[in-house]
Structure 1
Amino acid sequence: MFARDSRLRQWLGQWLPKRPVTRRDSPATARGGQGDVDRVRRQYLESEQRFRALLESLPKVAVQGYDRDRRVIYWNEASTRLYGYSSDEAQGELLEDLIIPDAMRDGVIAAHRAWIHESVEIPAGELELRHQSGELVPVFSHHVMLNEHTDEPLMFCVDVDLSDQKRAHRDLEFATRFDRLTHLPNRQTFEADLDEVLDGCRRRGLGLALLYLDIDRFVEINDALGYEEGDRLLIELSRRLSEQLRATDLMSRVSGDEFVLAFPGVHREDDVMRVLHKVQEVFRRPFGLEGHKRSITASLGICLFPDNGAGARELIRNADVAKNQAKLEGRGGLRFFHQHLHDDLVRQHRLAESLERALDNNELFLHYQPQVSAASGRIENLEALLRWEPLPGQPVSPQEFIPVAERSGLIHRLGDWVMEETCRQRAQWRDAGVKLERIDINFSGRQMGRHDVFERLEAHLRRYRLGPREIGIELTENVLIEADARILEGLHSLHHRGFRIAIDDFGTGYSSLSYLKQFPVTSLKIDRSFVRDAPGQPEDRAIMEAAVFIGHRLGLEVVAEGVENAEQLALVRDIHCDLVQGFYFYRPMPADAIERLLVGGVQSLGSLSN
């Protein structure tokens, strides 16, 4: 535990007291030498005082001195703080009896003797020495031997306390391997542990079930009750889940409100369902939050080894894919992983990349579908419909790329582009003298969630000097039901200024009609599924009649979507729909075709027949 350290030896040597040298002086020297003797003695005392003051002023450096028999001759204050013994308690005691653990005792004695008798120095290093209480203390220890070739060798031990560094290292190691809040392994540790378990499963021919758990609406808990309550929920949930695990099972908190659990040896259907039941049982008991009992649910995704993956990372990813599908089904959803889920996810990812390139490469354009008067067949308004034709490639349906845009966040760029292009086209037709009331733009729920969506619409309108009668908006009823105060305030502002606001796909969302009197809407668009089946389905006709009746009583315009034949047109006229939109009159068309139509150059089959 001691070291050859010439710099330390020189440093200690220059401060250690040196005995005055006694010799026979010549008569000449003796006659005037008393003053020199006094000066040397004074320097000796001052040197000793400086040395002691220095050693006592080092709070983290413990210095002890030992004689040839390893008995304490010096013990500074830092040694007392480090090892617990006072200077009086330590004086005269053996080194090995004070601070040397039993397992090191014989080695220390042998090393000390080898240094004295054979000049074999002991290397410096990190050690764990014994405190008076019996606990081990980590130190970095140097030793210096003075007078090593005399009958009175002195050994000074310089020990630097490493407790803080060791504690910091342990804390750092814990932080890199475990979750601070729940003390569960983090994702990296879980992956490493799971790969080891999977190796064992392969050797023994066992399966494994991996479960990915995501607390439903956890963000709302944090927002409503505060992060402290959210943390309490996570700690309580991890405790409950841990109680359900066997010694061989693994669990990790992989992100804010997500956990993964691995169950080795679980592969048969009945075993998997048993594990699922245990996990779901955890959520059947309410959780105490803010002094109240609250029911919490979680979405679960499950994958199996070796069916759904060979390694930890692949299994976690696939279980995550299944969990995301479960979340789409609502609270408490459960999905098993199937390869087609991963294939769909990969395809959607590639589609999102292609869609982003399409925005840069001008592959997007708008078609416009007229809304005509049910009574006269005259074109009243247009609906702008987004189209995508990759270069090269086949057209991609909006039913396919719009959901991808919403999930990837591209919906905001798409929405900006549609607003810009619609306003530009409407202004162009206005300036050309083309007669047209308005063009309606569809807004998705994700798009409405953007904080400045109304400001962006207003900016486009100002740029092209358009008024509230020239551009309208269409929303699904679910968007209105889920709208927050900001969205409602923006819609009311548009409504008061004369904008037309339509509920699209009416009848396919929430069953409650109370929102019709609460929200600022001006028209209802009856979903095409009712129009398609109404001629042969009395129930669908009754729903349409009720929708028209309610709409008219509330002063709303009613539009029938998806009218494709004369029988459907006769029905919507019979129940007094105001406007008709569908292939029977006009398909969606590019801007140049619409312009020819509006100036009288083209008529539809429907308009000719009527």
Structure 2
Amino acid sequence: MTTADLFLHILWPLAIASTLFLYWRIKPLPLPVTEGPIDTSPDVLPDPSLQERMWFDLGERIDRLCTLELSPESQKQQLFEQLSSLPPVMTLWAGFTNKEGAIDPFYVYDETEPGFLTEHYGVRHAAAIDEAENPTEYAFVSAQPHLFSNALEAPMDTAWQKRLRYAPLVSVLSIPLFSPDRARPEGIVTLYTDTACMDNDILTYLTNLLNRFMAFSHQNALYHRVLAQYNTVHSASRFYAQLINAAPIRICWKNSDLVYLGGNLSFAKDVRLGKPDALKGKTDHDLFGAEEARLFEMSDRKVLEHGTELLNRIEKQGEMWRLSSRAPLSDPNGRIVGVVIAYIDYTFQYRAQNYHETTEQRFRSLLDQMPTVAIQGFDEQRHINYWNRQSEALYGYSAEEALGRKIDELILPRSQQNHFAAGIAAWLNHNDAMGAEEHTVLARSGISIPVQSARILLDRATENPQFYAIDIDLSLQKAAESKLKQLADYDALTMLPNRHHLNYHLQSLITRAQRAEKQFAIFFIDLDNFKYINDTFGHNYGDKLLVQAARRLQHVLRESDYIARFGGDEFIVTVEYGEDHFVTSHIAQKMISVLQEGFNIKEQELYVGASIGITLFPENSSALDVLLKQADAAMYKAKRGGKNQFTYFTAEMTEEIERQLTMENALRQTFQDDKITFFYQPQVDLHTGVIVSCEALVRWYDEENSAYIPPITFLPIVEKAHLMQTLTQRAFEHAVRLLDQWRRLRLALIRIDVNVPAEQLANKEILTYVVHLLETYNIDPVFIGIEITEGQLIDLDTEAAKSVLGAFSDLGIHISIDDFGTGYSSLSYLSRLTIDTVKIDKSFVQEYESSQNQALIRSIIAMAHELGYQVVAEGVELPEQADALKKYRCDKVQGNHFYLPKHAEAMTRELTLNLHRHRKNLTK
């Protein structure tokens, strides 16, 4: 007897038996549940009740199951069938870990009507214990069994619990399943019962029983796998030589050094050796040309290094083209020790393929873009006789398990089986073909899979007609459609309806209210002090606060009420009421009260309030856009009145809204007609008096009143109308076109600085737009600058600011911080940003007589120079101010004392004069 025989027949069974004996003698460690301690010492409890005898009878059946000669998968299948057969069990869900550590469903049993409790039920890969959405996640993440005697009291405010309210279930138990050598669970089973029939003693017994079964399943699987390998190898050796030499395919095999160990007769003749024995000891360099040998060895080494197959490769061998496949050879321990190659003469096909190269390439491209297809073949009795690899992957049944079974009973829901059988009969008897359709099939795990299915009938007129079903998995497509729908209608953070869904709801609500002559109120809710929390603690805290705030608002609303996230920290609520709108005041006060309570976020107690504006339909208006503006106006009045209160819209607010609407419409028309204008205020070198740069200032000319409207009046309207991005893009476009004009006039170019709102620096869209403009007009980026106010910097996350501002700086674009000294930026914050210039706010310059302001100006200039920044002083209107700034070593100044803002033509003329002055100074 060889060593291998000794191991397989004697030592290995002995090792398995010893391991099983030791495992059954040692009981599992006690595993706690949520409701009281468990004594795990007894396997059989004294004086069992009727319910206890039922569970112990289950244990005896499972113990007998371990003695059957079944595969581990079949044993587990029968295990869960035994569990689900007990009278108290109405729902059972079981799953096992995959390679990524997530849980894949294995068995689902659901008697509840309409049977939706286990739909999309399972364990998420990254769920933490405090984020568990169902008992299965709770038990799996904690690696402990958990019992909820009253399932409705489980600490989970999730969709699972909402579904549970409609199911006749009482208690739920989740038990992690462990393998003998792993500390973490490899699976989990969850049982729901319609009575509170489980106590801690029974749970202990059931937990130990299931994990003993898992241990046996692992050991038994290992034994049968080794034994099957042994039988396969020894059975194959009896007819190996005859089979391989009779095959018309060329076959050969090599060791890990790529030396031939053998081959069949066809291959030996191909390489002109005549006999297979002559192959031994040869290499590809002995049999083929140098280039062919090198290419063959490269392919062989890929198989050896990666342990994967290389299938259907077209290779050149002398004058012949061959279609070859390679696979790794492994020893009994699973180590790769060589490679086997099989190929056929593909010369004729290759030449035909080469002749039709263009058509073939298009066909290949089409095949490459097609989704993976599962194909099943079956006869007129619907018995499966073909089952491709994708069918195995899609449905979870191997070909061996599927062949011979009826296709409708295997993968179709019960509700579809009679319809399918009738369709097959009608096709055979009346030639009434079954058309392609989209329907649902069932995988082995119990999961429903949407597919697009087509059927083909071959040999209908013969005694053996053949049917083929071609299924395309639509799961990803359906998931994407569902995700897109969710993204389109729901806010990703709070999961509330978003603005898109809100518009649809309001339009529908107005239509219904008009038909039924009903009244409703719109609440515009804005959180007070939310910006402070974002600025102080960061956006992560702010996001968590928004989620909690949304849940609190939902809890105080009635089922008929509606809430949506309007954007940022703003929410919209609609409330329908009868003759008296007193209920709206009551609801508004409840919302204010719940938002006043502290929010515990990451061990921080945070406080916000709410300002609420309310408008009534149809009392105030019947137009959707007007109602929203009315509620918005009422909210701002509540905020101005001291915050943390609600205000109803009144007629007195109408005039202000109409004024804003008129201005907004006029602004939109101005933007549409491209009549927005820009003036440019020069920045002067304080020591030479030469213009070195200028700032672009937006102006809106009111043609009706023949006057310019101040920016402070119309810029808030621009922001509310969501036109700020358009305005910024126009500013850059006018600046770059003006630079292009100056270059064509052969003027010396100076830098033009454009004001950019902080929120536009949160993404790279404006950066992309500026780069496109500069490339289109071929303008050097050094002649463009951006200005952002110091107060706006706090709206940017530090890393985001560094990234976006750094990207501008890397292009050579000049970065200036405007209104310096009035914001909240610390010196350490500024030192981490990529900036070039700080602009001293005009409030310091215009009150320069103050000794305190003088000290601040000197400190800002000294600090900026120390950090390597240039300094520009704004608002210089008097010669005394200019003299003082020159004495303080300020670099540049901007103000009416030197130049008023000029339109583009005037700025061009001024640059021409500036050029002459500069040349004149050089000649002195």
Q: Which residue of 2 aligns with 1:375?
A: 687
Report the Cα distance in structure 2 between the residues aligned to 1:327 and 1:521, rounded to whole angstroms.
36
Q: How high is the TM-score relative to the length of structure 2?
A: 0.38
Decide which of 423, 440, 459 is 2:736's aligned counterpart: 423
Structure 1 residue 546: Cα displacement: 2.0
Structure 1 residue 338: Cα displacement: 6.0
Q: Which residue of 1 aligns with 2:890?
A: 577
1:528 touches 1:561 (CA, 8 Å); kept in 2? yes
SS at match of 1:469: helix
Query: What does the per-residue CA deviation read over 1:537-569, in whole Å, with 9 as the maximum and x for residues that have no partner?
Result: 333333222221211111111111111112222
Report the Cα distance in structure 1 between the residues aligned to 2:834 and 2:803, rounded to whole angstroms.
10
Q: Which residue of 1 aligns with 2:765?
A: 452
Q: 1:557 aligned to 2:873?
A: no
Report the Cα distance in structure 2 between the residues aligned to 1:377 and 1:356, rounded to whole angstroms.
40
Report the Cα distance in structure 2 between the residues aligned to 1:420 and 1:312, rounded to whole angstroms.
37
Q: Which residue of 1 aligns with 2:203?
A: none
Q: 1:567 aligned to 2:880?
A: yes
Aligned AA (1:253): I
Decide which of 611, 624, 645 is 1:300's aligned counterpart: 611
Structure 1 pair 601/528, CA: closer, same or farther in 2 (3 Å)?
closer
Q: Which residue of 1 aligns with 2:819?
A: 505
Decide which of 238, 243, 258 is 2:554's aligned counterpart: 238
Structure 1 residue 190: Cα displacement: 8.6
Structure 1 residue 262: Cα displacement: 9.2
Report the Cα distance in structure 2 between the residues aligned to 1:424 and 1:310, rounded to whole angstroms.
46
Structure 1 residue 462: Cα displacement: 1.0
SS at match of 1:384: strand
Correspondences of 1:78-227 after superposition (within 5 Å): 212-215=524-527
Report the Cα distance in structure 2 between the residues aligned to 1:343 and 1:295, rounded to whole angstroms.
38
Structure 1 residue 490: Cα displacement: 2.7
Q: Which deviates more, 344-353 or 581-590?
A: 344-353
1:213 touches 1:260 (CA, 8 Å); kept in 2? no
Correspondences of 1:146-545 after superposition (within 5 Å): 212-215=524-527, 234-239=550-555, 241=556, 252-253=562-563, 257-259=571-573, 279-287=591-599, 295=606, 297-302=608-613, 309=620, 318-324=630-636, 337=649, 341-394=653-706, 395-449=708-762, 451-484=764-797, 485-535=799-849, 537-545=850-858
Structure 1 pair 595/304, CA: closer, same or farther in 2 (3 Å)?
closer
SS at match of 2:596: coil
Structure 1 residue 188: Cα displacement: 8.3
Aligned AA (1:365): T
Identity across matched positions, percent: 28
Structure 1 residue 436: Cα displacement: 3.4
Structure 1 pair 224/464, CA: closer, same or farther in 2 (3 Å)?
same
Q: Which deviates more, 412-421 or 444-453?
A: 444-453
Query: What does the per-residue CA deviation read over 1:270-323, in whole Å, with 9 as the maximum and x for residues that have no partner?
Result: x9999977653322334577x9776463432245999x9599988876343222
Structure 1 residue 434: Cα displacement: 1.2
1:211 touches 1:301 (CA, 8 Å); kept in 2? yes
Structure 1 residue 469: Cα displacement: 1.8
Structure 1 residue 325: Cα displacement: 6.0
Structure 1 pair 565/283, CA: closer, same or farther in 2 (3 Å)?
same
2:518 touches 2:577 (CA, 8 Å); kept in 1? no
SS at match of 2:792: helix
Structure 1 residue 468: Cα displacement: 2.6
Structure 1 pair 390/481, CA: closer, same or farther in 2 (3 Å)?
same
Query: What does the per-residue CA deviation read over 1:88-145, in whole Å, with 9 as the maximum and x for residues that have no partner?
Result: xxxxxxxxxxxxxxxxxxxxxxxxxxxxxxxxxxxxxxxxxxxxxxxxxxxxxxxxxx
Report the Cα distance in structure 2 between the residues aligned to 1:549 and 1:332, rounded to whole angstroms.
44
For CA contacts below 8 A with separation 6 or more, give which structure has more relative contact order. Answer: 1
Larger radius of gyration: 1
Q: Which residue of 2 aligns with 1:113?
A: none
Q: Which residue of 1 aligns with 2:78?
A: none
Query: What does the per-residue CA deviation read over 1:517-544, in whole Å, with 9 as the maximum and x for residues that have no partner?
Result: 0111111111112211222x33333322
Q: Which residue of 2 aligns with 1:8?
A: none
Report the Cα distance in structure 2 between the residues aligned to 1:304 and 1:469, rounded to whole angstroms.
52
1:370 touches 1:381 (CA, 8 Å); kept in 2? yes
Q: How high is the TM-score relative to the length of structure 1?
A: 0.55
1:210 touches 1:263 (CA, 8 Å); kept in 2? no
Report the Cα distance in structure 2 between the residues aligned to 1:421 and 1:312, rounded to whole angstroms.
38
1:363 touches 1:391 (CA, 8 Å); kept in 2? no
SS at match of 2:753: strand
Report the Cα distance in structure 1 between the residues aligned to 2:898 and 2:587, rounded to whole angstroms.
58
Structure 1 residue 457: Cα displacement: 0.5
Q: Which deviates more, 548-557 or 445-454?
A: 445-454
2:552 touches 2:594 (CA, 8 Å); kept in 1? no
* Structure 2, gaps ≥5 residues long: 1-489, 498-504, 918-924
Aligned AA (2:688): S
Report the Cα distance in structure 2 between the residues aligned to 1:387 and 1:182, rounded to whole angstroms.
40
1:370 touches 1:380 (CA, 8 Å); kept in 2? yes
Structure 1 residue 326: Cα displacement: 5.9
Structure 1 pair 336/524, CA: closer, same or farther in 2 (3 Å)?
farther
SS at match of 1:440: strand
Structure 1 pair 590/603, CA: closer, same or farther in 2 (3 Å)?
farther
Structure 1 residue 264: Cα displacement: 10
Decide which of 591, 594, 604 is 2:904's aligned counterpart: 591
Structure 1 residue 455: Cα displacement: 0.6
2:751 touches 2:782 (CA, 8 Å); kept in 1? yes
Aligned AA (2:525): L
2:615 touches 2:630 (CA, 8 Å); kept in 1? no
Report the Cα distance in structure 2 between the residues aligned to 1:330 and 1:517, rounded to whole angstroms.
37
* Structure 1, gaps ≥5 residues long: 1-178, 201-207, 605-610
Structure 1 pair 472/230, CA: closer, same or farther in 2 (3 Å)?
closer
2:794 touches 2:825 (CA, 8 Å); kept in 1? no
2:522 touches 2:628 (CA, 8 Å); kept in 1? yes
Report the Cα distance in structure 2 between the residues aligned to 1:428 and 1:511, rounded to whole angstroms.
38
Q: Which residue of 2 aligns with 1:70?
A: none
Report the Cα distance in structure 2 between the residues aligned to 1:315 and 1:360, rounded to whole angstroms.
26
Structure 1 pair 382/274, CA: closer, same or farther in 2 (3 Å)?
same
Count how many residue pairs are aligned between Structure 1 and Structure 2: 405
